């Protein structure tokens, strides 16, 4: 049952991210790299994430400094983008310093969660 709910949540997040990226190219770029690196890590394959750690950081930095669409501008978004950049930098640093795989995998999950925080703020309705 948990696996079924995870799959449903994954599809929902993918659909939401797709709609958001239509308006925000930097979000689309980051979504591409994180999906191509995080999902293999769930199956124990950290090679894509390690090989692309600098790209993950560079794309997070680009996203954090990109022009946020007006509908998504908020102090929470600014904080979430800053956190994503910080966590991606930490991930890249851990890979560069050849930290143990369990630590790298854990930090990649932190980066992934930080991305979902940004994506979640894109779907929140403003009142």
When pLDDT is averaged across residues 60-68 and rounded to a whole number, the result is 97
pLDDT surpassing 90 at residue 79:
yes
pTM for this structure?
Answer: 0.81
pLDDT at res. 66: 96
What total number of domains does the chain contain?
A: 1
Q: Please, are residues 30 and 63 in contact by the beta-carbon 8 Å criterion?
A: yes
pLDDT of 24-53, one tens digit each? 999 999 999 999 999 999 999 999 999 999
Candidates 64, 53, 33; CA nearest to 94 is 53
Supply the range of the domain harboring residue 25: 2-123
> What is the chain's length?
127
pLDDT of 1-19, one tens digit each? 666 555 666 655 555 544 4
> For residue 68, what is the domain's CATH number?
1.20.120
What CA–CA distances, in Å, run from 106 to 23, 30, 72, 90? Answer: 30, 19, 28, 11
């Amino acid at each position: 049952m948990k696996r079924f709910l995870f799959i449903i949540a994954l599809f929902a997040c993918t659909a939401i991210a797709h709609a958001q990226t239509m308006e925000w190219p930097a979000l689309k770029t980051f979504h591409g790299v994180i999906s191509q690196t995080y999902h293999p890590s769930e199956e124990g394959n950290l090679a894509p994430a390690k090989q692309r750690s600098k790209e993950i950081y560079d794309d997070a930095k680009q996203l954090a400094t990109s022009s946020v669409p007006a509908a998504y501008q908020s102090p929470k978004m600014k904080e979430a983008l800053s956190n994503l950049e910080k966590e991606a930098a930490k991930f890249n640093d851990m890979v560069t310093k050849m930290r143990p795989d369990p630590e790298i995998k854990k930090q990649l999950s932190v980066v992934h969660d930080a991305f979902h925080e940004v994506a979640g703020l894109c779907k929140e309705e403003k009142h």
